[in-house]
Structure 1
Amino acid sequence: CGECGKAFRWSSRLAHHQRSHTGERPYKCPECPKAFKGSSALLYHQRGHTGERPYTCPECPNAFKGSAALLYHQRGHTGERPYACPQCRKTFPHSSNLQLHRRTH
């Protein structure tokens, strides 16, 4: 990137990154005034309009717009706690939980 020096393996990733410097948002939602830097963000957003939730939980009836939300949800079923506090070793299912906890030390 000519602006910040960050390197990318793919030119498409560089183009997407450069939009963070220029503010360009070429992917426009046809349903509302919102616009996005990338096509995947637009697709995710459009699922809010259509109600589409293609990522279904195999353990319960819940479904989600994106795979990250499904993974976040599934940790409630599995009990996975991959984020550990380096000071006290307490573990958390999500990085945001760990960040909040670290403020207590």
Structure 2
Amino acid sequence: MRYFNTLFLEDTVVFLSGLDQKSAAKIIYNIDLAEQTNDPRLFKKLSGEIWEFRIRYLGKQYRLLAFWDKRDKETTLVIATHGFIKKDNKVPKKEIKKAEKIRENYLK
């Protein structure tokens, strides 16, 4: 069973294509797993309407920020706005603000 499907926006595609092949594959694998399990260790709410895919691989913490699009009654979508490598314990506020702005533009 799939709880949701993920749509990658352009910034996410650019981020993933800039990574080495194994890291990108691990991120895609974890997102697929999150879609099937809805596991909060893989996909968790950050603040407001912004969520994060959480991937730790080879000592790095990868994050893809996202939001839900439930306007279609048939398919629940999670829209991945952009990605970054997390250096601190907290997600930078500027990354959350960027995701919020992308969400606002997407829903218009």
Does TM-score exceed 0.5, indicating one fold?
no
Q: TM-score, normalised by structure 2?
A: 0.26
Q: Which protein, 1 or 2, shows the higher relative CO under an 8 Å CA cutoff with sep ≥ 6?
A: 2
Structure showing greater Rg: 1
Which structure features the higher share of strand residues?
Answer: 2
- Compute the TM-score of the two structures, normalised by the length of structure 1: 0.26
More helix by share: 1
